[in-house]
A and B are shown apart, each in its own frame.
Chain A
Amino acid sequence: MHIPDAFIPIPQAAVYWIIALIFIALSLRWARNEMRDEKVPLVAVLAAGIFAIQAINIPIPWGTSGHMMGAALAAIVLGSPFAAVFVLTLVLIVQGVLFGDGGITVMGANILNMGVIGGFVGYYSYRGICMGIKNPYPAAFIAGWLSLFVAALITAVEMAIAGTFPLEIGLVTMGLYHAVIGVIEGGITAVALYLIFTARPDLLSETKGVSS
C-alpha cells in the first residue's frame, strides 16, 4: 500500500505530512509517558520483525500481491495505537529512504494510512471485539483484517482527492484486493500475537487489564 511520489500532488502530500507529524509528536509523547525502559527491546524487535515481514509479498488472485502491514500487531502488543505510529514511522522511513519503497514527498500519507489509521483501527477494534469474545486470537484476526481494509479505503479516498483514481472504482478495486490481503494481515497478527503471549503471558494480562 506504499504510495509512490507520483500519485499525490505535492501540496496535498504536504497536508498529509503535517497530519503525520502531529501523530508522530503524539507518539513520542506516548513513548515519554508510557514506554518504560524495559519495553524498549520488545519495541525494537517488533519493528525489525515488521520490516522483515513487510518484504514478503504474498500472491493473491488477479495478478496481485500483498504484504503484512503490522500496525494492528504493534498496537495490540504494546497497548497503544501510538506504539503503532512510532514503529510504522521508523519502518516507513527506512523503507522509503534506503530502499525507495514508498515515496518521500508522500511519506506523510503513508505514515497516516499505515501507522495512524492502521494502528487506531487495529487497536480499538481489538479492544472492542475483546469485550464481546474473550479469546484474543479471533479478535486479533478481525482487528488485523479491518486495520488493513480501512487503511486501503482511506488510501482510495486520498487517490480520488489527488485525481489519480475515480472515487468509486478506486474504492471498489482497493476494497476487493485488500479484503483478500486483509486475511494475510489478520492471520499473521493472530499467529504472532499467540507466539508473543505464549512467551510473555504478562503482556496478555496487561492488555486485558487495561480493557476491564
Chain B
Amino acid sequence: MEGKNYLIFGVILALVIAVAAPFLASGNPDGLESAFFGIFGAKEIQGEELDEHAAGQAEEEVQGITGNTFSFESPFPDYTLEGLAKSGEALAIVLGTLIVLGVAFGLGRLFSRSE
C-alpha cells in the first residue's frame, strides 16, 4: 500500500468495525463491572449468572459508600439512538468513530509541529 492508501484503508476498517460492533459485542458486564457485581454479591466471581435485582441494589449501595451521586444524561447513552435497535447502535458507533476522527485530526493539526 503506497502513500496515503493505507490511511483510507484504515478509515474503512474502522467504519466496518463500527458497523459490526453492536452485532458482535457481548452484553456481558465488562471486567470492572463484573468484579463489582461479584464483590457486591450480584454474581459469583467465577459464575455466569447475573442477578439483575441484586445488581440494581449494588449500584445504589456503591453510591452510598462513595457519596458520588453525580449523574449526567449523555445524548446517546450506551451507544443507542432513540427508537432504533441494533441499527441505531451501529449508527451511533459510526457517528462516534467519525467524530473521533475529525476531532483528532483537528486537534492534531492545531498542536502538531509544522516545518
- Residues on A close to B: CB < 8 A? 1-3, 5-10, 13, 28, 31-37, 39-49, 51-53, 55-59, 61-67, 87, 90-91, 94-101, 103-106, 152, 155-156, 162-166, 169-170, 173-174, 176-178, 181, 196, 198-200
| A-contacting residues, B8-50, CB 8 Å | 9-11, 13-15, 17-18, 20-22, 24-32, 34-36, 38-39, 43, 45-50
Q: Measured between alpha carbons, how far is A48 from B113 in the docked complex, in Å?
A: 21
Q: Which residue of A lies closest to B4 (CB)?
A: A41
Chain A min CB distance to B19 (Å): 9
Return the 4 tightest CB-CB contacts between A and B, nearest first. Answer: A100-B74, A199-B6, A40-B108, A177-B31
A56 contacts B25, CB within 8 Å?
yes
- Residues on B close to A: CB < 8 A? 1, 4-7, 9-11, 13-15, 17-18, 20-22, 24-32, 34-36, 38-39, 43, 45-50, 59, 62-63, 65-79, 92-93, 96-105, 107-109, 111-115
List, in ascending order, chain B residues with CB within 8 A of A46's CB. Answer: 10
A3 contacts B32, CB within 8 Å?
yes
B62 contacts A6, CB within 8 Å?
yes
A6 contacts B59, CB within 8 Å?
yes
List, in ascending order, chain B residues with CB within 8 A of A44's CB. Answer: 101-102, 104-105, 108
List, in ascending order, chain B residues with CB within 8 A of A181's CB. Answer: 31
Q: Measured between alpha carbons, how far is A155 from B31 in the docked complex, in Å?
A: 11
List, in ascending order, chain A residues with CB within 8 A of B35's CB. Answer: 156, 165, 170, 173-174, 177
- Would you give 9 A-B contacts (Cβ < 8 Å), ordered by A? A39-B112, A49-B14, A52-B17, A52-B21, A55-B21, A67-B25, A164-B66, A170-B39, A177-B35
B79 contacts A99, CB within 8 Å?
yes
List, in ascending order, chain A residues with CB within 8 A of B7's CB. Answer: 41-42, 45
Q: Measured between alpha carbons, how far is A66 from B11 in the docked complex, in Å?
A: 23
List, in ascending order, chain B residues with CB within 8 A of A28's CB. Answer: 111
B70 contacts A65, CB within 8 Å?
no
Q: Which residue of B lies closest to A10 (CB)?
A: B68
B96 contacts A94, CB within 8 Å?
yes
Q: Measured between alpha carbons, how far is A9 from B103 in the docked complex, in Å?
A: 30
List, in ascending order, chain B residues with CB within 8 A of A45's CB. Answer: 7, 10-11, 14, 101
List, in ascending order, chain B residues with CB within 8 A of A52's CB. Answer: 14-15, 17-18, 21, 93, 96-97
Supposing A7-B62, A7-B68 touch, asked if A98 and B74 sit within 8 A by C-beta, the answer is: yes
Chain A min CB distance to B70 (Å): 5
List, in ascending order, chain A residues with CB within 8 A of B10's CB. Answer: 45-46, 48-49
Chain A min CB distance to B42 (Å): 11
List, in ascending order, chain A residues with CB within 8 A of B26's CB. Answer: 57-59, 65
Supposing A63-B43, A91-B100, A177-B35 touch, asked if A49 and B108 sit within 8 A by C-beta, the answer is: no
Supposing A5-B70, A55-B22, A176-B45 touch, asked if A100 and B104 sit within 8 A by C-beta, the answer is: no
